A and B are shown apart, each in its own frame.
Chain A
Amino acid sequence: MKRVLLFAMLFLFVLSSFGFAAPKKIGIILATGGLGDKSFNDISYAGALRAKEELGVELDYVEPKAIAEYEGYQRDFAASGEYEIIVCVGFDQADALNKIAQEFPEQKFAIVDMVVNQPNVASLLFKANEGGFLLGIAAAYMTKTGKIGIVGGMDIPLIRDFFLGFEEGVKWANTGAVVLPTVYVGGWADPTKGKELALSLIDQECDVIWAAAGKSGLGALEAAKERGVYAMGVDACQCYLGDHIFASLTKRVDIAVYETIKGAFLGTFQGGIFEKGVAEGWIGNCRFPDEEPFWEERFGFKHSVELPKEALEKMLEAREKIAQGEIRVPRPPEFGG
C-alpha cells in the first residue's frame, strides 16, 4: 500500500513537471482584505473579470492573508511565466513588487494606488482631488445648517488631496455652505475614535459628514446615522451601508485595471506612472447616471436619498469642466499642486 502510494506520487510529480505552451493569462494578487470587502478588492476583481470576458483569456487570482505572503505570491506568479500581466492590488505590495519586478524584468506588472519605479511596472494612481471636488458640490446642496464636517484617517498628502478638492468644490457650488476644519483620527483602524470625532463635528452643527479614513471612517458614518444627519462615502460606493449615505466618491479601480490589462494583451502596455482622474473616467461619483446602475447592481441595493436635481446638474457640469481643463482643482504640493 505504502509503496504503491509512493510510486503514484512520484509518477504524478514527474508528469506534472511537463508544461504545456498555453495562451497567456491574467494574474491578480489581491490585497490582504480579500474578496468580499465591497471596496478595492471587489472592484479590482470586477475590472479583471471584465477584461477576462472581453479578451477571452483566463484569469487566476489569489487572496494573500498577510503582507509577508505578497513576495512569495508575486514570485510564484512571475516565475511561472504564464501571465501576460500581473496586477497587484494595494499600496502595501509595493516593497515586495519593487524587488520582484527587478528579478523578472520581462514580466509586466501593474500596481494599484502606489508608485513602483521600475520600467516593467505600471503604477495606477487616481486624482482623488477631482473626486473630492465633485462630492463637495453634492454636500453643499444637501446641508441645511450650512456646515459640513470632514474626518481624515491621517494627516498625510494622500488624504489632504481628497480634502483640498472637496473644500474647493463646496466653494464652487456657492450655496453659502462652509467646511469646518478637518479632524484626523490618526489611524485607519479605529472606528471608535472616528465616531467620537464625527459626533463632535455634529455637535458643532454639521449635518453632512464625510470621512476618508479606512475602517475608522465607518465609525464616522455610524455617528451620522445615530444623530440622523447625512453622510458620504469614499473609494467605492458606500451608500449600501445606510439610508443616510447619499453619495460616494468613487475610485474606478475596475476601469484602471481593465484598461491596463487590455493594453498588456494588445501590446500597448507601458511601464510608468499613470495618474488619471475625471477626464479618463478613473474618478467619479456613484450618483452619476452612468455609474449608479453599476454600483446598485453590484452591491444589490437602491440609493434611497433623492439628490437635488440642481446638485447633480452642477456636478455633471463640473465634471465636464474639469475634463476640459476649465477648472483646475488644487492639490497638495507633494502631488504637484
Chain B
Amino acid sequence: MKRGLRLPLEVFAVGLAFLFGMLVLLVAGYPPLQALFALFRGAFGTRNALGQTLTQATPILFTSLAFLLGFRSGIFNIGVEGQFLVGAFVAALSGIFIRGLSFPVHALLALFLGGLGGAIYALFPALLKVYLGAHEVITTMMLSYVALYLTSYFVNYPLKAPGWVAQTELVASSARLPRILPPTQLSLAFPIAIGFAFLVFWFLERTVPGFSIKAVGMNPEASESRGIPVRKYQVLAFVLSGFIAGIGGGGEILGVHGRFVDGFSPGYGWDGIAVSLVGRLHPLGCIFASVLFGMLRAGGMVMTRVTKVPLDLSLIIQALVILFVAAPFFIRYLGGLLRRRRML
C-alpha cells in the first residue's frame, strides 16, 4: 500500500473546507469574505503573522510525527500529549538545574533529555501492551492525564517560581533555543522539527528497523512468521514516538516560553493526531498539514480581532479540514485493516 503525497486532492479538500467554513460564517451572520482576508493576512500577511503561523505549527509538527511513527507500527499512541508534557517538564528542569554549560551544548542536552523523558514515559504503555496486553488507547490516554496533573502539581507547589503565576523559574539563557525571526516567538525548534520530519521519512523508507516497523504495522502475524520480532519493534516504535513528542515539548519550553508554565499546551498532542491524519500519515505531509493548522490558529486570532468572529468558528474550519481530508482516507484505511484481519 503506497502512501504517496497526492497534493492536488488535499488542496481541493482544504479549499472545500474553507468554502463550507465561509458558508457557516454567512449563516452565523458574519461577513465571510472579510473574515477570510483577515485569516490569510493574520497567517501570512506580515513578518509577525508568518512567525505566529510557524510558531504554532512547530509543536504540532512534532506531535504529528510522534503519532505517525507509532501508527505505522500498528500502535495507536493517542497519549502523545502526555509524552509531550513530560518532555517539556524534563527539558525545563534540565535548563534550570544543569549549570555551567555553554550555549549549544546546554540547549541540545536539555532538548535531548526532554526527548528521553518522553521516551521513558512512552515505555510504560509499550511494556504494558506487549507483555500484559493492556490496550494502548486506554493506557496512553490515562497516562496523559497523569502527566498533565503531575506536572501541574510540581509547578503549582514544589517548583513554583515566586509570583502569582503557576510556572517554574526561567531556564538558563544557555539552554534557550534562539529566536530565528525576531521579534516573533519563532525559534530554532521549527527547523529542528522540519529536520525530524525528514529524519522520520528516511528512517521509515531507508532503514531496516524502519522497514520492520512498517511491516509489523501492516501485518504483525505475517511479520512474526517471517522472523521479525514484533514485540521488539512495537516497543521501539512506541519509544521513538515518545522521544519525538518529548523533543517537541522541550522545543516549546526552550524556544517559546523559557520556562514551564502551567497549562502552556492547549492540547498540542491531541492536535498532532488530527494533523498526522490530514498529512496522510506521511512525514513530509505532516509538514504541510501542521503549517495549515498553524495558519488556522494564527489567522484565527486575527480573524476574531478584526471581524469579531468567535475563535470557535475558526476551530470549525479546522474540524472541516480534518473531516474532508482525513475522514474518507481514515475510514478506507481502517476498512483495509479490518479486511486483512478477517483474511487471516
Contact = CB atoms under 8 A, between A and B. Distances in A.
Contacts of A63: 311
Contact of B304 (A9, A17, A62, A103): A62
A21 interface: no
A12 B33 contact: yes
B8 interface: yes
Given A2-B12, A68-B257, A103-B183, A15 B301 contact: no
B195 to A, nearest CB: 23
Contact of A60 (B261, B262, B306): B306
Given A68-B257, A68-B261, A75-B48, A12 B36 contact: yes
Contact of B37 (A1, A2, A15, A72): A15
A79 B46 contact: yes
By size class, the interface of chain A is 20 to 34
Given A2-B11, A68-B257, A75-B183, A91 B164 contact: yes
Contact of A2 (B8, B36, B184): B8
Interface residues of B, number: 40
B263 interface: yes
A79 B48 contact: yes
A134 B235 CA distance: 64
Contacts, number: 83
Interface in B1-28: 8, 11-12, 15
A29 to B, nearest CB: 9
Interface in A39-93: 60, 62-63, 65-69, 71-73, 75-77, 79-80, 91-92
Nearest to A60: B305
B308 interface: yes
A91 B165 CA distance: 8
A60 B48 contact: no
A77 B48 contact: no
A72 B298 contact: yes
A18 to B, nearest CB: 10
Contacts of A15: 37
Contacts of A66: 263-266
A95 B11 CA distance: 39
A67 B263 contact: yes
A16 B40 CA distance: 9
B38 interface: yes
Nearest to B184: A75
Contacts of B256: 68
Interface string B21-52: 00000000000010011101110111010001
B266 A13 contact: no
B165 A73 contact: no
A187 interface: yes
B223 interface: no
Contacts of A16: 37-38, 40-41, 45
Contacts of B261: 67-68
Given A2-B12, A92-B164, A76 B37 contact: no
Chain A interface mostly helix, strand, loop or mixed?
helix
A90 to B, nearest CB: 10
A73 B301 contact: yes
A95 B45 contact: no
A81 B214 CA distance: 52
Given A2-B8, A71-B185, A12 B48 contact: no
B302 interface: yes
A2 B12 CA distance: 7
B51 to A, nearest CB: 9
Interface in A5-51: 5, 9, 12-13, 15-17, 27, 32
B84 to A, nearest CB: 14
Contacts of B11: 2
B173 interface: no
B164 to A, nearest CB: 5
Contacts of A76: 42, 48, 52, 301-302, 305
A170 B145 CA distance: 45
Nearest to A63: B311
B219 interface: no
Given A12-B36, A13-B40, A16-B40, A72 B52 contact: yes
Interface in B40-82: 40-42, 44-46, 48, 52, 55
Nearest to A19: B41
B301 A65 contact: no
Contact of B165 (A5, A65, A80, A95): A95
A62 B301 contact: yes
B156 interface: yes
Given A67-B165, A79-B46, A91-B164, A9 B52 contact: no
14 contacts: A13-B37, A16-B41, A16-B45, A17-B41, A17-B45, A62-B311, A67-B264, A68-B264, A72-B55, A75-B48, A76-B301, A79-B46, A80-B305, A95-B165
Interface of A: 1-2, 5, 9, 12-13, 15-17, 27, 32, 60, 62-63, 65-69, 71-73, 75-77, 79-80, 91-92, 95, 103, 156, 158, 187
Query: Closest 6 A-B residue pairs measured CB to CB?
Result: A16-B37, A5-B15, A66-B266, A68-B264, A92-B165, A16-B41
Given A2-B11, A72-B55, 18 more contacts: A1-B12, A12-B36, A13-B37, A13-B40, A27-B305, A65-B311, A67-B261, A67-B264, A68-B264, A69-B266, A69-B301, A71-B185, A72-B298, A76-B42, A77-B305, A80-B305, A92-B164, A103-B183
